[in-house]
Amino acid sequence: MKLAMHKCPYCDLPLSSGVLTCPSCQADLRNVDLAAPVGGRAGETLIEKPSRISSNASPGAPKPASTSAPPLTRGRTTKATKIADTAIPFRPENCPPILKICLLDPGSRDEGEWFRIRDRRFVMGRSEGDLVMPFDEGLSGIHAELVRRTHGTGYRYVLVDLNSTNGTFVRVSKVVLRPGQELLIGSHRFSFDAGDESEPEQMSPQEHEDDTPTATINWQSQRPASKNSSVSGPGLVEITHTGDVGIRFPFSKAVQTIGSAPGQADLIIAGDPFVSGVHARVSKTNQGRWQIENCGSLNGLWLRVTEMPLERNAEFQISEQRFLVCPK
């Protein structure tokens, strides 16, 4: 009479009925149904299926009950034993980093058209460059560029204005004002006029009150101060679309707010839907300088620069085009 033959579910060794321990892998077979199909034909390669990991699982959470075959009580480990993988996703080690910038859609701060920059220079303009935007007449033919420079042992990208007519602006939270500096508040452009106040001595980088590094920013005035500065105190002077001097907002108190809401802001910018009720605040520092800071406005406070290093989630604007920076 022919004895019924089975296979060990762990190592495929042919077994006779009634065997309690596999003589090859020493697996305990007392609770294993040897009559159940083991899958696959003799000699066929079986591909291991990875177990599913719940996306909601957290460290320390109880592990779900195992649905696999009972573990071995003795003998060698099986092929299904998993070892934690401590590797990280592959990244080139000898190549400069890429820079991702997004040309934002109108009214958005995080959606738009993304560009990956791998070259050392990336030029933007209305008629020439790597990114050409002929639809914006406020752009210069070659307006600004992004330049990769060495920084310590690594690299960083720097935004550089290319002597454009309408300037390059970055979104800032706070800045100490210098005579002739230009700001964007809503759709209005202003220049800081120190008036008849003398400019204090130049601060060293350690005394700088702004949250941006002075060593990499050219604070040179882009426009001359107001002609009537000799007969007035410090303040913001509006620059119209034609480049003429417009309304003047004098700094008559040590702390004043700028916005669109009468009764809430001290200096009112009327008729501009992009200006928040209380948009920004100007104040005099202990060193006798004037500073301006954003008050959580929706559309932010923007400073005209000639050169600025870019950090993660920085924003810059050329003419009416706004960009979000996401360095890698």
Q: Are the CB atoms for 320 and 104 separated by under 8 Å?
A: no
pLDDT in tens, 101-139: 999 999 999 899 999 999 999 999 999 999 999 999 999
pLDDT in tens, 3-48: 556 777 777 777 777 777 777 777 777 776 666 554 444 444 444 4
Q: Are the CB atoms for 99 and 124 separated by under 8 Å?
A: no
Closest CA to 180 of 167, 161, 164: 167
What confidence tier does 290 reach under pLDDT thresholds 50, 70, 90? very high
SS3 260: coil
**What is the C-alpha radius of gyration for the chain, rounded to an integer number of angstroms?**
34
Question: Does an H or E element contain 316, and which?
Answer: strand 315-318
Is the pLDDT confidence value at 59 over 90?
Answer: no
Q: Hey, which residues does 156 pair with through a beta bridge?
A: 149
What confidence tier does 94 reach under pLDDT thresholds 50, 70, 90? confident
Q: Distance between CA atoms of 285 and 176, rounded to whole angstroms? A: 9
pLDDT in tens, 135-180: 999 999 999 999 999 988 889 999 999 999 999 999 999 999 999 9
Give the least confident one: 93-97, 99-103, 269-273.
93-97
Q: Distance between CA atoms of 277 and 258, rounded to whole angstroms? A: 8
How high is the pLDDT of residue 237? 95
Amino acid code (one letter) for 321: Q
In the block, which residue shows the tokens 């200006």? 275
Q: Distance between CA atoms of 327 and 310, rounded to whole angstroms? A: 8
- Residue bearing the bigger pLDDT, 233 or 183: 183
Q: Distance between CA atoms of 175 and 181, rounded to whole angstroms? A: 10
Is the pLDDT confidence value at 204 over 90?
Answer: no
| Identity of the highest mean pLDDT range in 75-89, 207-221, 288-302 | 288-302
pLDDT, averaged across the chain: 80
For Cα atoms 45, 48, 50, give the angle at the middle one, nearest 5 degrees.
Answer: 165
pLDDT in tens, 220-265: 333 444 444 445 789 999 998 876 778 899 999 999 999 999 999 9
How high is the pLDDT of residue 275? 98
Q: How many percent of the chain have pLDDT more than 90?
A: 53
Helices (H) and strands (E) in the chain, counts: 0, 22
Torsion angle, CA of 184/186/189/194, rounded to 10 degrees?
Answer: -70
Q: Distance between CA atoms of 50 and 268, rounded to whole angstroms? A: 64
Q: Distance between CA atoms of 118 and 115, rounded to whole angstroms? A: 10
Is the pLDDT confidence value at 280 over 90?
Answer: yes
How high is the pLDDT of residue 82? 78
